[in-house]
Amino acid sequence: MGLPLDAVAAVLAPLCADPGLRGLCVTEVDPDHAPGPEDVARLVDVLTAALG
C-alpha cells in the first residue's frame, strides 16, 4: 500500500514550502488500487495544495 493520505498531506506541505525543493516525483497512482473511489481526487487536491 503506501502512506495514508493524511500523512502524505502533513509531510508534503512543509516540504513543498521549503525554498530548497527542486522536484517532486509521484511514481504511480493506480485508481484500481485506491482504498476508495474518492482517494485519487483527494490525492490531486493534496498535491495541488502542497505545490501551491
Q: What is the pLDDT of residues 1-52, one digit of tens each?
A: 678 889 989 999 999 999 999 999 987 788 888 778 788 899 899 999 999 8
For residue 14, give its domain range.
5-51
Predicted local distance difference test score (pLDDT) of residue 1: 63
Residues 6 or more apart whose Cβ sits within 8 Å of residue 8 = 43, 46
Phi first, then psi: what are they for 31, rounded to 5°? -55, -25
Residue 45 grid coordinates: 487536491
* Residue matched to cell numbers 497512482: 29
* Residue matched to cell numbers 484500481: 32
* Residue matched to cell numbers 500500500: 1
How many separate domains does the chain show?
Answer: 1
> What pTM was computed for the model?
0.76
